[in-house]
Structure 1
């Protein structure tokens, strides 16, 4: 049996995939949003550090600018008096050093000549600041790093809105670093150092070295921080976004702030922010999001499983129930449905409706099955039995013949098939109608059934044909006894509704003791023998022999040639004159059928008429002869032979045909002949076959004016 997967599991799997996809999408978006928030927080910290640096740097520089401006007014230094200005600054050296840590001071006159220097030489990059100060007439600040980094401020000394001198001061960055450190520590645990970057070294701790005064403990911590920065973290990354590192189990954000006095000096302020608590909160948030999504998926799956499991159970029960319908176990199907699907009305769902529909289907199938059983029995009866007589039909007989033939090899006996045909039965139908014909067939079946033994079988093949299967024959002569008894049963006439019918039978017999004989071949042989028996003109039987086949073939060929001859007008009428002996006067003609064959010439009537007598072709020839004979009679009358009669032979089939009288009347009217000149000849056999019917037809013919004559009287055909 092929393995199957439950529909509920398929639906559950699909829903699980959908929910997992949606949850993954939502969780991913939430995690992405949290990561963006984390990045934004880092950017906020970085921006805040830069802002504070510039704010404090500006504050310290403006403090010096204000002091210089105030010093000019306090000492009332006249314009252009550089010497007094220099003396003033010389007297303030100790104050500047102690108060604001001014380590270097330079005074430049309006000719941009150094007129006073306290401390180191004036660096070249500071000269550029001096030029800008003279040009822009405003303080210019920057950072100069050589061995150590110092903050430089170039302040213009303006008298009457003209720059007369420029004072340049350099201060240590320690105060700035202290202010920044105090400000950052107030917001979070942070450290700030001045570092210098070098291009050598394999690790970040080798590439960066601390360039500010720190404690030994702080220096070790900063070395650990620098060692935790991966080589892949470039200066640009540290400047623009910062980088997170883990040191001693805590998370830190590292950012660099370049001191842009000289682009190539490689000095930076390194901010170290402790973000461990924030990272833990971020991880906790991510865990909540992740496990919340997983919990949501599991909750949904559980709910769907509980819901679909009930549907799956119902579908499984229904799937197991449906084969019961194919097995026609309808009651068991209804019982299982009632046990599995009965629920309260307000709880009904589509599967309950499906169960009810299945019950309705079972009721209809049960009804159809019962009706089919009845119809099958009827069809079997129709297929195997004749509806008119109740006897077995051709199918049943064929089946029994095959069965008996198969048993012949186990028996030392033979079997015979008797093919029986009612003689002149067509006349009964034509003259009295099919109702009387059916009654004759039923009576014939009853008479035949009285003769046969219980183990023999009689069947009606249709029309007036019956077949009897006789088995267990020790010798073929036993069939003669059966055939004689059958013929004897029809000696007595049949009486139906005050009508008397003289019916005889013709029997063809086929005998075999060979089990290899085929049923169809045996029936064909019996049928052929029956037609041979009919040539005896009733109440006779014939055994099949091989010569009959040749005769049948010849008869079929002759019938086909006769049809062609009728179409090609090979037939013609020979007129045999009738002379009155006393006066030797011509009184009429007898129309005789002749055949002028294109190859064989004139074919004698005795060669083709007996063979065509019991065929359908004979009826066509009979009416053709009548038509041509009356046409000749009309032509004779037109030529002056008005009192000459025309004798026309009637066959038994034509005499019994109900179309005879209407056709005769039509020909008389068409050719305008005198009916008294038409003489219809029939044999005595035709008259005695059904005397009452014969008398009735003769009276109707005579009423038309036609004459009746008995043909072949005294020549061996008449009964004397």
Structure 2
């Protein structure tokens, strides 16, 4: 038994991974702790600045309050009236100016009338402080900033213990700044200055400017500081946590202190702390931590490199040998393996074992290479046939069409291409699963193969589409016989595992006798004709003709006209009211798209919507309708109709569009509408096309607060089976049942049972197409909640909506 040397290498590998992980974790924690400590130091400086500011500000304001309170002790007789109080302050003007830098003095009586003024006019915002002083009978202090910022203190003065006057004095903030500068300790040396925030400035230096007296040197320094603050540094960050900047190679911490505590007017006290030494120490510490960790990891990597070098040499040799296998040089590969790998048993390791396994692999590859030539022909044949039905596939059919087109030059005959599609095949997959769908496709292939001649060719193009190539035709009418036989093959239903399926086919025929016809063009013509046959609702065939191309051209022209119409605002919305049948209360509108063409006038929706349905233009129209409808909903809410919803129809393409939810959220936010008043309508055909995705999208729509309605309920083929799976809010009974409920008992029973079933499930129900008063009465008797239709109102042009609402809505009820 061969020995291997593997345990040590495994252990060393595990140790390397563990050491790298531990080192990374420790370095990360140390760096995080250092950064957190640095942030705490900044926060401590900020808190100390705020505390000192409030302490000194309070001290200076209380000094004036104490002086005013001591007036009665200055003179033998305290002021007995307002005149004596004014005389006292006139005599004290010089003292207050020289000793305490009092710039302005105002005295007001208890009616807030100015009785004395020394200095500037009394600012209006100071009157609020006067009113607060009279109300609370206590001194009130604050800051007033106009050109320059000043401290303002409003002090109540009682005369004869009856009348309350108010003395208002303002002092410069320079003394406060001086006290704050002197109080700064060596550990946090700081410069401070008053700044003002200028709104709408382009650069950071223009956003803040100096608003206090400073020396030229300090002004230059502060301007450099302001210029260094980036635009990304918001006022909130500067106030709450400060911002670090670099000026002239040194680091500084910048903090702002609002001078107005209860409202923001752009005046701030800016502290500038020199933290350069601390930042250098912080960066040095981080470098030591980082490079120490890197050095430790590199040391282990070097050790592992030395130990694994032998492994690397063998892997290199093996990498050079493996391309020989790809080149089928098997003998040369074996010689290289013997030369590069050891045969000493006590030195064997896993790579030696791998080298021997590679030799075994080369033997098997050599054997497989011999079989490959045999299998290639089989694989090429498989590539030309469909795996499910065994019929030729698209590649084979394309090859044969080109071959037969070339043969038309040698013989006077025609050929036809029949493009066949199974009708209602999607119904089989959706209702019974893809297994039954595959069985239906196989049976269809067998039935189609029974009809064609030996020299004709049938192929499966994919899904439920088949193509038959009929050659050697003397006249085009011969194709009619083939098409009729193909349709007759599907008259009898298909029976699969006790299930019966009624499947019909639609056939599109393209005929040619011209050898210059291209295969792709012929397939396109047959495909176009097949879609025309689809319009006959199954079991029919159509020949391609030029008018079908004209229809495509007309569709392109209509799409171009629709783009112009959207740009020139030719489209508009018509709103059909929805009411509560019991109370006649107006509950909402359904938004319907209309087109007012400048030449053709009002274009019916049935003329342009079906032709635009599968074009890129339809998506633009869908989102335009949504935006316009939500805008109208916003106007309705603004005009007092707050509980009126707007129903918006979603097409299949719009429902499948990933931009639907973000665009809907954007419109709700833009127009500030209540999402509960938005109702999105989907037909059950769209919902059951991909039920799992539909449920997921619906849940996201309902999470926004919007409602979802199932439109045209009862016309689909799986309404009841999917109703419990779809998380809808509203079910709309199709107008076809409402139209026949008075004359046909079956329709009446369907409507009644649908109403009972939906209401028992806790959902709302709306009846469409109410055109007679008897229908409305019958529906109300059946406990149908809501309804809409021409009897209630025709769709209302959005431009006439407000006039109609004034005449038709009284006390929230719709007047019939």
TM range, smaller chain: 0.3 to 0.5
How far, CA to CA, are the matches of 2:105 and 2:164 in structure 1?
Answer: 17
| 2-structure distance, mates of 1:283, 1:414 | 87
Q: Is the 8 A contact 1:422 1:505 kept in 2?
A: yes
Structure 1 residues 356, 130: CA separation in 2 closer, same or farther (over 3 Å shift)? same
For residues 577 and 17 of structure 2, what CA distance do their matches in structure 1 show?
Answer: 111
Aligned to 1:271, the other structure's residue is in SS state strand
- What is the alpha-carbon distance in structure 1 between the residues aligned to residue 428 and residue 291 of structure 2? 102
1:640 Cα deviation after fit: 141
Q: Is the 8 A contact 1:185 1:191 kept in 2?
A: no
Give the 3-state SS of the residue equivalent to 1:666 in structure 2.
Answer: helix
SS at match of 1:77: coil
Change (3 A) 1:579 1:294: closer
- Shift of the 513–716 alpha-carbon distance from structure 1 to 2, 3 Å rule, reads farther
Change (3 A) 1:586 1:396: same
Q: Which moved more, 1:598-607 or 1:313-322?
A: 598-607
Distance 1:185 1:280, change over 3 A: same
Instruction: Choose 658-667 or 259-268, whichever is displaced more.
Output: 658-667
Q: Is the 8 A contact 2:5 2:347 kept in 1?
A: no
Q: CA deviation at 1:298?
A: 3.8
Tell me if the contact between 2:3 and 2:347 (Cα under 8 Å) persists in the aligned partners: no
Tell me which moved more, 492-501 or 318-327. 492-501
**Alpha-carbon distance change, 535 to 561 in structure 1, aligned in 2, over 3 angstroms:** farther
Do the aligned residues in 1 keep the contact of 2:6 with 2:349 (CA within 8 Å)?
no
Are the structure 2 counterparts of residues 422 and 681 from structure 1 closer, same or farther at C-alpha, using a change threshold of 3 Å? farther
* 1:71 CA drift (Å): 2.0
CA contact (8 A) 1:502 1:690 kept: no
Conserved 8 A contact 2:242-2:254: yes
C-alpha separation in 2, matches of 1:51 and 1:668: 46
Let me know the Cα RMSD of the aligned residues.
38.4
Query: Which of 346-355 and 148-157 deviates more?
Result: 346-355
Match in the other structure for 2:624: 624
Residues 438 and 700 (structure 1), Cα distance of their counterparts in 2 relative to 1, 3 Å cut: farther
2:21 aligned partner? 21
SS state at 1:150 partner = strand
243 and 375 in structure 1: CA distance in 2 versus 1, 3 angstrom threshold: closer
Aligned pair in 2 of structure 1 residues 211, 373: CA closer, same or farther (>3 Å)?
closer
Report the CA distance shift for 1:571/1:534 in structure 2 as closer, same or farther (over 3 A).
Answer: farther
Q: 1:501 & 1:466 partners in 2: Cα distance?
A: 19
Q: Aligned in 2, Cα 1:109/1:691: closer, same or farther, shift over 3 Å?
A: closer
Shift of 1:294: 2.1
Tell me how far apart the structure 2 counterparts of residues 685 and 641 of structure 1 sit (CA, whole Å).
33
Aligned to 2:378: 378
Change in Cα spacing, 1:171 to 1:359, as seen in structure 2 (3 Å) is closer
**Contact 1:7-1:312 within 8 A present in 2 as well:** no
Q: Tell me if the contact between 1:712 and 1:718 (Cα under 8 Å) persists in the aligned partners.
A: no
Comparing 531-540 with 387-396, greater Cα deviation is found at 531-540
Cα deviation for residue 503 of structure 1 reads 92
1:21 shift after superposition: 2.0
Decide which moves more: 599-608 or 121-130.
599-608
Contact 1:594 1:602 in 2 (8 A): yes
Distance in 2 (CA, whole Å) between partners of 1:422 and 1:711 is: 27
CA contact (8 A) 1:590 1:648 kept: yes
User: In 2, distance between residues paired with 1:670 and 1:200?
Assistant: 24
After TM superposition, the structure 1 stretch with the greater mean CA deviation from structure 2, 116-125 or 475-484, is 475-484
Compute the displacement of 1:708 (Å). Answer: 119
Partner residue of 2:187?
187
Partner of 2:731: none
Three-state SS of the structure 1 residue aligned to 2:77 is coil
Question: Which shows bigger deviation, 594-603 or 386-395?
Answer: 594-603
User: Deviations for 1:634-671, whole angstroms, at most 9, x for unmatched residues?
Assistant: 99999999999999999999999999999999999999
Give the C-alpha shift of residue 265 in structure 1.
2.5
Contact map agreement 1:509 1:542 (CA 8 A) in 2:
yes
Partner of 2:268, secondary structure, is strand
TM superposition shift of 1:126: 0.8
Q: Indicate conservation of the 8 Å contact 1:502/1:689, yes or no.
A: no
| CA gap 1:220/1:423 in 2 versus in 1, 3 angstroms | closer
The two structures have a TM-score, normalised by structure 1, of: 0.42
The CA deviation at 1:441 is 78
Flag the 1:350–1:143 CA change in 2: closer, same or farther, 3 A: same
Shift of 1:111: 2.8
Question: What whole-Å deviation, never above 9, does each CA across 1:29-61 have from its counterpart, x for those lacking one?
Answer: 111111111111111111111111101100101
What is the distance in 2 between the residues matched to 1:216 and 1:230?
24
Instruction: Mark the CA change 1:271 to 1:646 in structure 2 (over 3 Å): closer, same or farther.
Output: closer
Q: Unmatched 5+ residue regions in structure 1? A: none
Which residue of structure 1 aligns with residue 101 of structure 2? 101
Alignment-derived partner of residue 200 in structure 1? 200
**Counterparts in 2 of 1:73 and 1:2: CA distance versus 1, 3 Å:** farther
TM-fit CA distance, 1:393: 65
Structure 1 contact 646–678 (Cα < 8 Å) conserved? yes
Structure 1 residues 489-532: Cα deviation after superposition (integer angstroms, max 9, x where no partner)? 99999999999999999999999999999999999999999999
Q: Distance in 2 between matches of 1:631 and 1:378?
A: 64
Structure 1 window deviating more from structure 2 (279-288 vs 316-325): it is: 316-325
Relative to structure 1, is the Cα distance of residues 640 and 260 closer, same or farther in structure 2, using a 3 angstrom cutoff? closer
- Partners of 1:139 and 1:669 lie apart in 2 by 47
SS of match in other structure, 1:410: coil
Higher mean C-alpha displacement, 656-665 vs 276-285? 656-665
* Greater Cα offset, 321-330 or 570-579: 570-579
What SS does structure 1 have at the residue aligned with 2:582? Answer: coil
Alignment partners' CA distance in 1, 2:94 and 2:579: 191
**How far is the alpha carbon of 1:174 from its aligned partner?**
0.5
Distance 1:631 1:123 in 2: 46
**Which residue does the alignment assign to 1:571?**
571
Aligned length: 720
1:63 Cα deviation after fit: 0.8
- 1:582-601 Cα offsets, whole Å, 9 max, x none, are 99999999999999999999
Q: Is the 8 A contact 1:77 1:85 kept in 2?
A: no
- Stretch of structure 1 that moved more, 100-109 or 450-459: 450-459
Aligned residue for 2:531, secondary structure, equals helix
CA shift in 2, pair 1:453/1:6, >3 Å: farther
Query: How many angstroms does 1:292 deviate by?
Result: 2.1
Deviations 1:429-467 (A, max 9, x none): 999999999999999999999999999999999999999
* Matched position secondary structure for 2:491: coil
Cα shift readout 1:187-235 (whole Å, capped 9, x = no counterpart): 4332111111111322111111111111112111111111111111111
**In 2, distance between residues paired with 1:318 and 1:668?**
64
Asked if 2 retains the 8 angstrom alpha-carbon contact of 1:591 and 1:647, the reply is: yes
Alpha-carbon shift at residue 94 of structure 1 (Å): 0.3
